[in-house]
Amino acid sequence: MKVSFVIFDWDGTLADSKGRIVDTLRGTLTSLGVAAGSDESLAQVIGLALPDCARALVPGSDEAFARAFVQGYRDTWLASDAPPTEAFSGVESTLRSIGDRGIPMAVATGKNRAGLDRELGQTGLGHHFVATRTADETASKPDPLMVHQLLDEVGARAEETIMVGDSHWDLKMAAAAGVRSVAVSYGAQPIGRLREYGPWHCIDAIEHLLDRL
């Protein structure tokens, strides 16, 4: 298969942020008087837009709760004293190698624009990507709209595109958009669950992606 475009999820795929996201979800729920579940259950919503996270974590909650949840989460995540996000080991060199092969790259994430832009700057990875989409700009995963928008913006063919992600939301979005997916085993969700969604390949380290291009 020829690969002419690579779309990456951000959290848990390029950014080593699972632990901080889970802690922030737990703290936000607690501040709103809601008992949070296990770390595993909280990790299952990573990748969704924040309003969808609220609805998934607290079924039956109303829009007022979702707004309070989103505001509380963002206030914590974007606080001036919040720890910086770091990329996984090997991400910088892998992105550089893909770029050297002339393959454009993009990011499709459940984060909002302010959060992604901040972390692209913190990690120094922003210059690798020709396009990015965040959940506050388009439909949330697993809706395929953000992939379709990226394909249109870059002028890429779906059959020559891969989506790399760490959650079933990423894999479902890829399938709905008609692009192949690569599941990573080191992120938010266990690889056994991701295999149920039929990824094209599974990798245990981001560097292994180079063998599939």
Q: What CATH number does the domain containing 34 carry? A: 1.10.150
Residue 110 and residue 90 share a domain: yes
Tell me the torsion sign for CA atoms 189, 190, 194, 196.
negative
Tens digits of pLDDT across the chain (213 residues):
799 999 999 999 999 999 999 999 999 999 999 988 889 899 989 988 899 999 999 999 999 999 999 999 989 888 878 888 999 999 999 999 999 999 999 999 999 998 899 999 999 999 999 999 999 999 999 999 999 999 999 999 999 999 999 999 999 999 999 999 999 999 989 999 999 999 999 999 999 999 999
Residue 113 and residue 101 share a domain: yes
CA distance 54 to 114: 19
Residue 41 dihedral angles phi and psi, to the nearest 5°: -70, -35
The three-class DSSP label of residue 7 is strand
Nearest in space to 2 (alpha carbons), one of 198, 179, 168, 208: 179
Residue 196 and residue 139 share a domain: yes
**Domain count of the fold of the chain:** 2
Supply the range of the domain harboring residue 181. 5-16+86-212
**Terminal CA-CA length for the chain:** 8
Q: Return all residues near 196 (Cβ < 8 A) that are at least 6 apart.
A: 168
Nearest in space to 171 (alpha carbons), one of 146, 141, 205: 141
Nearest in space to 166 (alpha carbons), one of 147, 146, 141, 143: 141
Give the CA count within 13 Å in the CB-facing half-sphere of 145: 10
Residue 174 and residue 126 share a domain: yes
CA distance 28 to 101: 42
Say how many C-beta atoms besides its own lie within 10 A of residue 62's C-beta.
Answer: 11
